[in-house]
Amino acid sequence: MRAFLKLFRLDTSDPELMRAQFHSFGGHIPLLYGILVSNTVAITVTCFDGEHLIKTLASPIVIAAIGITRAIWWLRWARSREWSDAEIAGHLRRTCLLAVILTLIFNAWVIWVYQGAGGYARSNLTFFLALSQVSTVFCLMTLRAAAMLVAVVSTIAFALYFSWIDGFQLLPQALVLCCVCGGMAVVTHSFNRSFAEVVRSRRTLALRQLETEKLSEENRRIAFTDPLTGLPNRRELLLRLDRLEAREGLAHNSLAVVFIDLDGFKLVNDEHGHHAGDALIRSVCERLARHCPDHAVLARVGGDEFAVLLEMHEGIESAQAQAVALALRMLEEIAVPVVVDRHVLQVGGSIGIAANIDPAGHPRELLRRADLAMYHAKTEGKGQIALYSEDLDKGRLRRLDIEAQIGNGLSRGEFDLVYQPIVDALSGTVVSAEALLRWPRRAEGALQPDEFIEIAEATGQIHPLGLYVLERACRELGSFRQLSLSVNVSPAQFRHPSFEQQVFAILERTGFPPERLQLEITESYLLANPERALRAVGMFKARGISLALDDFGTGFTSIHYLQSYGFSHIKIDKSLLVGMEPGSKATMLVAGAITLATALDMEVIAEGVERQQQADILRGAGCHEMQGYLFGKPMPLDEFTAHYHQHGAADVLPRRIGHTARR
Ligand code: C2E
Ligand code: CA
Ligand code: CA
């Protein structure tokens, strides 16, 4: 019973459903009143009676007037503004009430007219009445309470009236009407349920969509932000540069990009761990942000790389000038030490700057140029600022060319080896040879090793190149049974995980005795990767291969440190020999190094000996071996062979083997 009564009650618990009902049947209501008014007019025309003007003219005019007024209200006002939930509930309630009242009035009027009408008019009346009832119910279908009330009220009124008048002659019609009403109630009910269902699922869909939008907004935020610093990342910066490109009226000379790369950050990470590295990055980025003007965008574009996009309106001079001023402030700020976990951490910065001077250029290009300029600042000794210029790009292209040519050159046999004698300081006999790489048959012209080796190191091509040198030198000098061989090894070669194995494999293939091989490495690698270096050095030593530290005196390594690594030799760099006169500072420095190394059981090779005076001083200071133009320039194999036959110690054991065996 309660469920039955609920069918007639207006449900205001779901404001959204109410709103949907309001808008849905709001569209039907003018139609409903239109039908009602035309039915009223039709009845008036069929049943007009001049003697009963109130019944057949005034009453229909009143009914039609109410209908027209309501239709106009719905047409003009119902959609004219946003109604609140409470107002909509009020309208719905009034609609239900008015539907019942109007139904009662209309029915009462029809019954009234019916009583005085003739047979033809009466059948017309029942037709119009049934029509009005059915159309009213259908038009109100979305508002279940109103539709049900109208159906029930009009059916009861008519069923009662028709079954009662004319001696029950119209009872069948009354029953049919009841059935129709029942049918309409069922349809209305199920229609209403599906309507509510549609509204609900639409709401769920909208909610889902909102959630999805929120989620994708969050995803977007994550994708375009650096999680560590909260700064925009490279992707976001590129997006902003793209947006600038799309912006009309952008003066292309009003942009500048400052590209910052930290110097020495890797060392902090390696020595103090990633936690300290992260803290340092956060601190640097906070401080950099303080120096950025409001309109600038600071982004973290790589592990220890930042970029600032400066947009200016004054023109190229000031764009670049402002970028330079900013870069100078940033360099100072980066160098300020930071305390992390009670450690004082300090890094430096290399900065590249590019200002857009190319009207057809894409703003993205600025980032690449600034990056290139930064790279230049880095290779020129770090801690500097470099401005982009076209020459940098030309240099880069040349490097790219050389990079491609190295691979080809290797397979086409364009490389050669030369050997430079290393002599025993006391006897002057050749005890060893340093193999040095040459590229004489390069199609574009010979290149100095200083130039192409640096490129090969940067691209990783030094691996095949280095192994080629080792294998060829081992083969070529294998038969010089009293001679040691020195081969240069780039720091980059250690990065190859199986470098040691590859060296051992070459020794096995060529049959070159490990005791006669010395590898020369520079200190940069030791500092950057102490653990890896220690492991490699240990493995080489275990096989009898000796190690020399090349270019000693150009870095900061202490001799003590070298000894802990197990170096058997240090090679004093030729730059230290330049000012070597009796009693000069350079002489004292070299002599001190020799004394200390000897005390720590390491031997000293002096490199770049050009003058007899240098040789005498070195010998006096206790230097063990010497290498330089004074004793012989690097020479091709046949020339070296002849030289060796003249100056080598053919009959005695090579000194170095003797020393190595002693260790
Ligand atoms: P480095 O290992 O310090 O080689 C010594 C360089 O000094 C050689 O230059 C040699 O020709 C030069 N030199 C020798 N005696 C004198 C002298 O009395 N006066 C002067 N002014 N110079 C002298 P080079 O052959 O041009 O090699 C330059 C650098 O290229 C080498 O420096 C080495 O770092 C690298 N390099 C050469 N060959 C190889 C190689 O096969 N592998 C690797 N990884 N690097 C190599
Ligand atoms: Ca060397
Ligand atoms: Ca050297």
Instruction: State mean pLDDT over 533-545.
Output: 90
Q: Over 50: is that where the pLDDT of 652 sits?
A: no
Give the predicted TM-score (pTM) of the model. Answer: 0.58
Q: Which long-range contacts (CB under 8 A, 24 or more apart) does 16-23 make?
A: 16/199, 16/203, 17/196, 17/199, 17/200, 18/85, 18/88, 18/89, 18/92, 19/85, 19/88, 20/142, 20/195, 20/199, 21/92, 21/142, 21/143, 21/195, 22/78, 22/83, 22/88, 22/91, 22/92, 23/79
473 CA distance to ligand 3 middle (Å): 18
Locate the ligand 1 atom nearest the alpha carbon of residue 522 and give its number.
34
Ligand at shortest distance from the CA of 615:
1
| Ligand 1 pocket check for 142: Cβ under 6 Å | no
Q: Could you report how far apart the first and last alpha carbons of the chain are, in Å?
A: 109
Q: Over 80: is that where the pLDDT of 178 sits?
A: yes
635 CA distance to ligand 1 middle (Å): 12
Among the listed ranges 23-27, 34-38, 93-97, 351-355, which one has the minimum average pLDDT value? Answer: 23-27
The Cβ of residue 337 has, within 10 Å, a number of other Cβ atoms equal to: 10
Pick 555 or 226 by higher pLDDT.
226
Q: Which residues partner with 297 through β-bridges? A: 309
Pick 505 or 560 by higher pLDDT.
505
What residues are neighbours of ligand 3 (ion), with CB under 5 Å?
550-551
Q: Which of 436, 611, 625 to mutate to test the pocket of ligand 1 (most atoms within 8 A of CB)?
A: 436
In three-state secondary structure terms, 123 is helix
| Ligand 1 pocket check for 553: Cβ under 6 Å | no
pLDDT in the model for residue 660? 42
608 CA distance to ligand 3 middle (Å): 8
Q: Over 50: is that where the pLDDT of 654 sits?
A: no
Q: Which of 453, 470, 476 to mutate to test the pocket of ligand 1 (most atoms within 8 A of CB)?
A: 453
| Ligand 1 pocket check for 492: Cβ under 6 Å | no
Q: How sure is the predictor about 658, in pLDDT bands with cuts at 50, 70 and 90?
A: very low
Quote the tokens at residue 660: 């190595």
